[in-house]
Structure 1
């Protein structure tokens, strides 16, 4: 299988046969993944001329400002490693800092996870979860022990008051554009729903959220509000759903003090660790498949990544799969073991929404 042949593909510069061989040994124990879509080069020493897709590794010393500026201007990223973790700085200045233990084989593991198609920040998370000899302990050596994963550095404290818990399996989870749709799906027996309102005036927004929350109480259902946490708190909503970008601006203490559940979007391992720091009520993972309902900042994740997410976290926190899932794809998604699936157009664009909900519910129960 071509994805397993790393020794002749120039992963390391200067060439490092021992590292390449270790990376290949690790790679064959990680499963069947598509080739990486970029030709990464892990530079073990400063290259004469940095280039795009270079990952320049600096161990045990500070990177000078001149080197940092020159390398990033050339399109290279910098991996600075020490005794207590590692940090990745991308050409655009984004920084991903992790505190944890580095195994002797962490660079080989980093190359192997890059070859599995993971972006550098997620490959680095997985590399820090690697332990020497893991590739000898089974056919699938994928890291699934959360206690071995690094901690995201430099995060603010988690809310003092924990967020209330959700059922571990939230089931069918429609994401709908209006309170009328909330009422419609709850009347069909749905017990978890998200209101995602767009392009509303403040008055319309308040009315939509209040109406949706009232419907949730009437049907004894779980109504989450997307983004608008202040309005959701005033209405007494069951919960809110936020994206990663909202973590920089939302008052998580206020959300917790309002007694609302918190759902957070994640798109990979680094965002997963960042989200877990805040103790959310559930985590959403996506987009699993290509979707036309919103612009994607990351490539579709696929079922193999979802299944490993479930193995890592499925017994710890409720997981919601989202993105491009329809009735035809739902059985394969549920086969990963995920306890909830969010659907949008499979319900709101259906010719007969009542029939669509009934069929989807049957797939969950079957």
Structure 2
């Protein structure tokens, strides 16, 4: 375990380190941390890139916080039931209650190779004594913090979609949507990469109509205005799109909403808006899209499903093909998005049939 024999807290804090090691020992095997974070309980004169500098609610050093936030180090403020993490221009704010062991838990989750904002989310969900459970991993949703400073969710949320969305091909054209729906797939997404508005409107209109004819769930990626205008079943948006899309207009139109997530913090952020489903990814490396985060892997996917199953429909996405599909479904997720496993298959019909059979067995 890499917490041993290295500086985890600065100045050295033997009691915190002892608790961190005890927690880490109960979290299981995880890849070695890519960054060796040092949790600074006092601001160092020369902060380093892998320093996470903590200010508690008993301190008031706003000028120092601003200076340190610009130094390349991460800065964490914990005050009055609110914890704010700053990394460069990024800001992550969480509210809730936490245990006295939260800093030790933060060190343990950082050592499991989680990004600081996800490690912080898990640390705030940790409760003293959790290390004595058979499964110590935080899995009680009621203990997780809330993401702060978000705009209000649309009244009533978004329409529901089936909990088992099943095989979910993400396709580049209406031709592909029609072809795959004809093979018996009931959920698909049009991800049209074009800047030509007329082409986009035609492709969306054809895809939406194909879904209506076959009583299928067809989602439109990104282009929510055109999807609403065409009366689409649903739209799929990324985390960054939540800042710019008119979620109230989407909900008012009765269009379902799927949101991409890439870890615990983004899952909590997305759930605030009460979407129709969450996409969890990227599970594996993918070449179809530039991803903002490293691959999640099956171990993380399994933990995400454990936390959120039954709360919202979940879709695994990213680098999934026929070879790994059984392992993906073994996590308990009930839908998986695929791209090249369908669009680059030598025999599309055979590929779809094989993938569909995997879902029937799960």
Match of 1:311 among 298, 306, 314: 306
Are 1:16 and 2:13 an aligned pair?
Answer: yes
Alpha-carbon shift at residue 173 of structure 1 (Å): 0.1
Which residue does 1:44 correspond to in 2?
41
Are 1:119 and 2:115 an aligned pair?
Answer: yes
Which residue does 1:95 correspond to in 2?
91
Alpha-carbon shift at residue 8 of structure 1 (Å): 2.0
User: How large is the RMSD of aligned CA atoms in angstroms?
Assistant: 1.1
Look up the SS of the partner of 1:317 in the other structure: coil
Which deviations, in whole Å up to 9, do the C-alpha atoms of 1:281-305 show, x marking residues without a partner? 0000100000110111100000000
Alpha-carbon shift at residue 65 of structure 1 (Å): 4.7
Alpha-carbon shift at residue 73 of structure 1 (Å): 3.3
Are 1:344 and 2:349 an aligned pair?
Answer: no
Where do 5+ consecutive residues of structure 2 fail to align?
A: none
| Paired residues for 1:285-304 under 5 Å | 285-304=280-299
Contact between 1:113 and 1:127, CA under 8 Å: does it hold in 2?
A: yes
Alpha-carbon shift at residue 61 of structure 1 (Å): 4.7
Look up the SS of the partner of 1:183 in the other structure: helix
Which deviations, in whole Å up to 9, do the C-alpha atoms of 1:111-130 show, x marking residues without a partner? 00000000000000001101
Look up the SS of the partner of 1:48 in the other structure: coil
Look up the SS of the partner of 2:240 in the other structure: helix
Alpha-carbon distance in 2 for matches of 1:85, 1:72: 18
Alpha-carbon shift at residue 93 of structure 1 (Å): 2.1
Where do 5+ consecutive residues of structure 1 fail to align?
A: none
Alpha-carbon distance in 2 for matches of 1:166, 1:94: 32
Which deviations, in whole Å up to 9, do the C-alpha atoms of 1:92-127 show, x marking residues without a partner? 221100001121000000000000000000000001
Contact between 1:7 and 1:24, CA under 8 Å: does it hold in 2?
A: yes
Alpha-carbon shift at residue 63 of structure 1 (Å): 5.4
Alpha-carbon shift at residue 363 of structure 1 (Å): 1.2
Which residue does 1:157 correspond to in 2?
152
Contact between 1:83 and 1:102, CA under 8 Å: does it hold in 2?
A: no
Which deviations, in whole Å up to 9, do the C-alpha atoms of 1:206-264 show, x marking residues without a partner? 11001000000111100000011111111111000000000000000100010011000
Are 1:71 and 2:72 an aligned pair?
Answer: no
Q: TM-score, normalised by structure 2?
A: 0.98
Alpha-carbon shift at residue 200 of structure 1 (Å): 4.2
Are 1:333 and 2:328 an aligned pair?
Answer: yes
Look up the SS of the partner of 1:35 in the other structure: coil
Alpha-carbon distance in 2 for matches of 1:269, 1:318: 16
User: Any runs of at least 4 consecutive aligned residues in structure 1 with deviations exceeding 6 A, and if so which?
Assistant: none
Alpha-carbon shift at residue 351 of structure 1 (Å): 1.1
Q: TM-score, normalised by structure 1?
A: 0.97
Alpha-carbon distance in 1 for matches of 2:213, 2:133: 52
Are 1:232 and 2:215 an aligned pair?
Answer: no
Match of 2:22 among 25, 41, 45: 25
